[in-house]
Amino acid sequence: MSELSVTVLGSSGSYASADNPCTGFVLRSAEAVVLFDCGPGTAGPLQETVDLNEITAIVISHCHPDHWLELPVLRNVFIWFHPRSGVPVYGTARTREMEQALRVEVAHRPTPFAWSTIDADSSLVIGDQHWTFDRTDHPVETLAARIAVGGRTALFTSDTGPGWTFTDFGADVDIAFCDASHLAAEEDQGIPHMSAREAAERAEAAGARRLVLTHLMPGADPVAHRAEAGAVYGGPIDVAEAGSVFEI
């Protein structure tokens, strides 16, 4: 049995495609089940992946809606349908502000979430999962995450432009889930995301043993993304798809 598994709930960048929700991952280990990001549409596949009562904690990378807007939906689920309280939620200060602005108080019902604000200096221990963070190159405070379980390590770049590399933060990881929203032909357009080439270049420099390209824009050609990354990165390459499971 693997020490850590990652299930992709959705991986579509900025908005959902017809068959792929926005960003969301479930990280399961022996002692924890963590939901990392929960963009629009992820509540459905989340229920196919885990029993909602199993969720140990929720971690949100940043305040852009395609990464957290299913959280108010889960709040309602935990108030009315699968009653829970004190579910730990970790996110940036702005994400917390935005989620609180959408909160509707319900008399005689406990709030299901226990919020904690995190930043690039934070570290978390969630069961047997050890989380550390680093701020990426994105217009809002955005946190890349490195998760270690036993002798295995996964890295998520979250959303980032080319001004951030994870060589120091993410060196020697078993698997790297990298923002690869577009192709190299669009690198000069000021898009605050990495191309497949840039993602692969950073994964190669950091010594990541497996690369997963994620956050592709709807309509993007995954074959082209994989080919562009393969010209730079020498290890195995996948493109994240809804329902994909990676055993680490």
Residue 110: band (very low, low, confident or very high) from pLDDT cuts 50, 70, 90: confident
pLDDT tens sequence across 218-228: 999 999 999 99
Helix axes 196-206 and 222-230, enclosed angle (nearest 10): 40
pLDDT tens sequence across 31-59: 999 999 999 999 999 999 999 999 999 99
Give the number of C-alpha atoms closer than 13 A to the C-alpha of residue 230, restricted to the C-beta side: 10
Locate 166 and state its tokens: 């994870």
Give the pLDDT confidence score for residue 220 in this predicted structure. Answer: 97
Lay out the sheet containing 211-214: strands in order across: 123-126, 129-135, 143-149, 152-156, 175-179, 211-214, 237-239
Give the pLDDT confidence score for residue 223 in this predicted structure. Answer: 98
Q: Give yes or no for residue 6 having a pLDDT over 80.
A: yes
Extents of the domains making up the chain? 5-247
pLDDT tens sequence across 18-34: 999 999 999 999 999 99
Give the pLDDT confidence score for residue 27 in this predicted structure. Answer: 98
Q: Give yes or no for residue 64 having a pLDDT over 80.
A: yes
pLDDT tens sequence across 205-244: 999 999 999 999 999 999 999 999 999 999 999 999 999 9
Superfamily of domain 5-247: Ribonuclease Z/Hydroxyacylglutathione hydrolase-like (3.60.15.10)
In the block, residue with structure tokens 């995301």: 193
Residue 1: band (very low, low, confident or very high) from pLDDT cuts 50, 70, 90: low
Residue 94: band (very low, low, confident or very high) from pLDDT cuts 50, 70, 90: very high
Between CA 7 and CA 248 the distance in angstroms is 11
In order of 157, 191, 198, 200, 230, the CA distances from 238 in angstroms are: 15, 23, 15, 11, 10
Average pLDDT over residues 123-144: 98
Average pLDDT over residues 149-168: 96
* Identity of the residue numbered 113: F
Average pLDDT, the chain: 96
Q: Give yes or no for residue 105 having a pLDDT over 90.
A: no
215 burial type by CB count under 10 A (0-12 exposed, 13-18 middle, 19+ buried) = buried
Give the pLDDT confidence score for residue 166 in this predicted structure. Answer: 94
pTM over 0.95, yes/no: yes
Give percent of the chain with pLDDT exceeding 90.
95
Give the pLDDT confidence score for residue 108 in this predicted structure. Answer: 82
Residue 2: band (very low, low, confident or very high) from pLDDT cuts 50, 70, 90: confident
Q: Give yes or no for residue 156 having a pLDDT over 80.
A: yes
Determine contact, residues 47/35, Cβ cutoff 8 Å: no
From the list 199, 187, 202, 192, the residue with the least C-alpha distance to 238 is: 199
